[in-house]
Chains A and B, each alone.
Chain A
Amino acid sequence: MNKLHSLAPWLVLVFGILYVTQHTLSPPENTTGFEVSTFQSIPVSAHGRTKPVGTVALNNLMMLSGKQTLLVNNRKMSATEWYLELLTNTDVSVAREIFRIDHPNVLSLLGLSEENRTRFSYKEIVDNLTEIGEQAQLASRVKAKDRDPFQNAVLTLYQRLSLFRDLSYLMAPYVIPPSDIGGDWRSFNVSVIETPSDPYVLTWINMLQLYNQGNVELFNDALFQYSTDLNKLFPAEMQKARIEVVFNHAQPFYKSMVLYVIAFLLGCFGMLSTQLSRASLSNTLLKSMTSLIVVAFVVQTIGLIGRMYLQGRPPVTNLYSSAVFIGWFCVLIGLLVDKRMKLGFAGTVASALGFGSLVIAHNLGGSGDTMEMMQAVLDSNFWLATHVVVITIGYSATFFAGLLGTAYVLLGVFTKLLDKEHGKSLIKMIYGVICFAALMSFVGTVLGGIWADQSWGRFWGWDAKENGAAMIVLMTLLILHARWCGMIRDRGIVVLAISCNIITAWSWFGTNMLGVGLHSYGFTESAVFWLLLYVVSQLLLMGVGMLPSSMWRSGLKK
């Protein structure tokens, strides 16, 4: 029995590694014989970035249908296969049910209300194209923040339809490589008219025809030849494209998300068994949790480094990557704290934050390329690397402090786990993390000010996002000063730390939802609902935290 206890964490570690590496090193075979996996590594240019066909196919299929693969005759069809079909076999591709439509009024507009599904084909929609166009035009005249759900839905559908058209006519992405090194990528349907005898244009026509004819051998030959040519002329782009395909397959953030949730459950059970005074079981569970977190953390780190390599930029470039990075940094803090105080709190909290932030990232990145190009003013690696990274670390630290506070309240009120010693060390942790958060938020905010001064001569502009950052700084400072003058004690720190969660969530997300200011990017409507829900939950927690100590099951006494 003892042997099992000491072995378990290692078994869990092995399980984690197996889970992560599955499919990564050997992508699933396809049975058609076409070298689809070579085709998906061919670089093209879309949204200003050179990326593999595989990424383009994946992003666009996600954008249209919300899915990464299609199910055709009980066989998984990869995004790249779908894309090839779209380019070569119009009759079939227009009948594929890939347009996701949820809004009942849009469905009735299309006369599809009776259908009991959420995905429809181009063929089913095409008859009502004019109507959709007219509705979309009406909706586009309304300011984005004033549109109702129907208007949003009809606009989205309209955009998807034009995306579908652009894709099938090869207007986007630009697939024809530059004619000379350092030149720009070109669109196929412009090149085919302007330079019809361009060898690349001919190659593409040839490849697409062969695929259409089902000529496996010749298609593979042509593809191989093209790939070899590109390798000679654009070795760097080819290398990046291949790595990006591996990155897409590996899904590092998705996999670490799954591992974090398992780790979180292990942590919860671990702490529960402490309460049931099953010390050895609890020890095993907590150790297993730590090994899973380590695996997930390593995977997430590799993912972050991969993104940085592919994009040639610091880790945080948009709302999506800020979520990934916040999670990563929280886990880092958690692992460090967990190593010092082997109580399981820090690890459980870290895995919850790792999981939560990756869920948020997953939802933010749901449609489109998460590695889009930066607007001109953001095109500065120096400031992205300093201001954005530091402020994001500040967010992470405040969230971490807030969740430690949550753990304190939940464990204190509902369990007997929080004895005097544990309580004291939790408070110490929270206090330390808040000091760190104050420093990082302040430095990050200031660096933002300096960036603003450098790019438009205004150190401080009272912009919504700037104000949000200032609120975090003030809140952390408020806690520290209130503690120093004895206005608050342990419980005060805890409750105020939880309130930091609200302010940080506001600053990170809420300010983007106002639709004003320089940072109003990445807005999503459903996010408003989740933010409100989150705020309410935190207020409730603060309320629970303020219950008289006689009602705390831990019987926390001063």
Chain B
Amino acid sequence: MRRFFTILASLRLTVIVFALSIFLIFAGTLAQVHQGIWTVVDAYFRSLIVTIEFQIFVPKSIATIPGGFWFPGGLTLGIIMFVNLIAAHIVRFKFTKKRMGIIITHFGVILLLAGEFVTGIAAREGNMTIVEGESSNYTEDSRSTELAIIDRSGKEDNVVVVVPDTVLEFKSGELKHELLPFSMSIQEWMPNSFILGPEQNQGKRRGIADSGSANIYAAQPTAVVSGVEGSTVDYPSMYVSFTKNNETIGTYLLSAYLEKPQAVFVDGKTYWVELRFARSYKPYTVHLIDFKHDLFTGTQTARNYSSLVQLLDTERNVDREVLISMNNPLRYAGETFYQASFLQDDSGTVLQVVKNPGWLMPYASCTLITIGMLIQFGTRLISTLRKSAS
């Protein structure tokens, strides 16, 4: 037991974890060439174990190599580093002036690891798209989608039933909900797709759909995208059949690409259905007064993007104008609004809304680590200089 603890606290273990981490990060960088960044982050850096494919080390144009090998994931390495550090300080803890720097640095590292952990489990990101002159009170998460069935027949509020894509992806049987008089079954799910218009569609596969937009459009599956840029987003599509009492109402093509919901008529009532990016509604409203996109003279290079918005929150009695621009975000109600993108022809803005309860932790930890390292290396440097001077 004691021996195990010594190993757990040993510097050798630290070195080994560092070496493994360097390799993991390297592999996780190469993997981004072929896989979407969020797929990679989940598979490599937030997992216990990862299968690293041999292929990532060799371009496909040179050779195709099947297979891969197991490797500890980021979560595993992070936990070992964390335990190693704490164990080391328990075993060897001595509070002397000489060790001050190291203790401060390591405390910072613990905070840093904890911060990334908190971010990993608690951070939420979403986009808020607002057309100039209009308002929005929800964000969309471009990394996940949801099937929404909306009943607008109510006098005041709409009734909305939402099915997240984590269910849609794997659901092979029937989908039912007590508020809906019909059931649904998913015929085909495409994690990423593009839509063929009526022209491109001719003579090609019309899909299995027979109702709604499917009369005009067809979807074709495509590979999941790579890269971290906001513009490269997966657009899932699905073919879904609606049935009531074993009687088919129709098979629809729903896609994150299609902007408008489609109507499904059941018992003389209209239900609007759409596959959309997962929404989360906010207790406040953001109204876009003006979006600006300045260019450098005679070029297409952007000088600045900025959104002038009106922030309305009746609960908190807030009604004020805010200018959000690159490098100048708005922090409000535990969330931060960044200028992320814009709509075609500069007709509107896309704000990134991030909620990260751990956002201050890196700041604190980095300050500590920097101070700690300065003390550690500084005192060493001074003593070396003194020695060589004498």
Contacts and interface: CB of A to CB of B under 8 A. Distances in A.
The majority secondary structure among interface residues of chain A is helix
B326 interface: yes
Given A462-B45, A467-B26, 6 more contacts: A48-B297, A172-B298, A340-B388, A471-B22, A474-B18, A517-B32
A434 B169 CA distance: 49
A485 B10 contact: yes
B362 A450 contact: yes
> 4 smallest A-B Cβ distances: which pairs?
A48-B296, A485-B11, A457-B354, A478-B18
10 contacts: A46-B298, A340-B388, A443-B366, A450-B366, A457-B352, A463-B37, A467-B26, A485-B10, A487-B15, A517-B37
Contact of B303 (A46, A48, A174, A435): A48
Contacts, number: 168
Nearest to A341: B388
Contacts of B28: 462, 467
Contacts of A453: 359, 362
Contact of B125 (A438, A457, A516): A457
Contact of B299 (A48, A340, A478): A48
The majority secondary structure among interface residues of chain B is helix
Given A462-B45, A471-B25, A517-B32, A439 B377 contact: yes
Given A432-B384, A464-B29, A450 B12 contact: no
Interface centre among B29, B115, B298, B340 (most CB of A within 10 A): B29
Given A462-B45, A467-B29, A514-B33, A478 B15 contact: yes
A76 interface: no
A92 to B, nearest CB: 27
A379 B15 contact: no
Nearest to A456: B338
Interface stretch (B199-207, B226-234, B282-290): B226-234
A239 interface: no
Interface in B1-57: 10-12, 14-15, 18-19, 21-22, 25-26, 28-30, 32-33, 37, 40-41, 45
Nearest to B380: A435
A458 B354 contact: yes
B369 interface: yes
Contact of B229 (A467, A514, A518): A518
Contact of A481 (B14, B116, B326): B14
Contacts of A40: none
B362 A482 contact: no
A169 interface: no
A173 B296 CA distance: 13
Contacts of A511: 29
Contact of A432 (B12, B305, B374, B381): B381
Contacts of A428: 384
Contacts of B359: 453, 457, 459
Contact of A435 (B115, B295, B338, B377): B377
A517 B227 contact: yes
Given A377-B327, A435-B377, A516-B227, A45 B297 contact: yes
Interface string B340-359: 10000000000010101001
Contacts of B33: 514-516
Contacts of B228: 461-463, 516-518
A457 B119 CA distance: 11
Interface string A418-459: 000000000010001001101100110010011101111111
A373 B296 contact: yes
Nearest to B226: A516
Nearest to A469: B25
A383 B326 CA distance: 13
Given A380-B327, A457-B336, A515-B33, A187 B373 contact: no
A283 to B, nearest CB: 21
A47 B296 contact: yes
Contacts of A518: 228-229
A462 B228 CA distance: 9
B301 interface: yes
Interface in A24-81: 45-49
Given A373-B296, A443-B370, A457 B329 contact: yes
A468 interface: yes
A375 B295 CA distance: 10
A484 B366 CA distance: 23
A18 interface: no
Interface centre among A49, A187, A380, A474 (most CB of B within 10 A): A474
Contacts of A187: 298
The contact size tier of chain B is 35 or more
Interface in B72-115: 115
A454 B360 CA distance: 12
The contact size tier of chain A is 35 or more
B302 interface: yes
Interface of B: 10-12, 14-15, 18-19, 21-22, 25-26, 28-30, 32-33, 37, 40-41, 45, 115-116, 119, 125, 226-229, 295-299, 301-305, 326-327, 329, 336, 338, 340, 352, 354, 356, 359, 362-363, 366, 369-370, 373-374, 377, 380-381, 384, 388
Interface string A340-365: 10000000000000000000000000
Interface centre among B32, B37, B116 (most CB of A within 10 A): B32
Contacts of A185: 297-298
A534 interface: no
Contacts of A432: 381, 384
Contact of B298 (A174, A456, A470): A174
Contact of A474 (B22, B45, B329, B377): B22
Contacts of B326: 376-377, 379-380, 455
A493 to B, nearest CB: 13
Given A45-B297, A456-B340, A514 B30 contact: yes
A475 interface: yes
A455 B21 CA distance: 27
Contacts of B338: 455-457
Contacts of A438: 373
A454 B331 CA distance: 10
B22 A48 contact: no
A454 B373 CA distance: 25
B297 A379 contact: no
A153 B228 CA distance: 29
A474 to B, nearest CB: 5
Contacts of A173: 298
A184 interface: yes
A457 B125 CA distance: 9
B301 A47 contact: yes
Contacts of B352: 456-457
B302 A376 contact: yes
Contacts of A461: 37, 228
A185 B295 CA distance: 13
A503 interface: yes
B30 to A, nearest CB: 7
A375 B301 contact: yes
Contacts of A457: 125, 329, 336, 338, 352, 354, 356, 359
Interface centre among A47, A438, A455, A503 (most CB of B within 10 A): A455
A210 interface: no
Interface centre among B40, B41, B327, B381 (most CB of A within 10 A): B327
A47 B299 contact: yes
Contact of B370 (A383, A446, A462, A485): A446
Contact of B29 (A460, A481, A514): A514
B11 A459 contact: no
Contacts of B301: 47-48, 373, 375
A399 B29 CA distance: 22
A544 interface: no
Contacts of A174: 297-298
A477 interface: yes
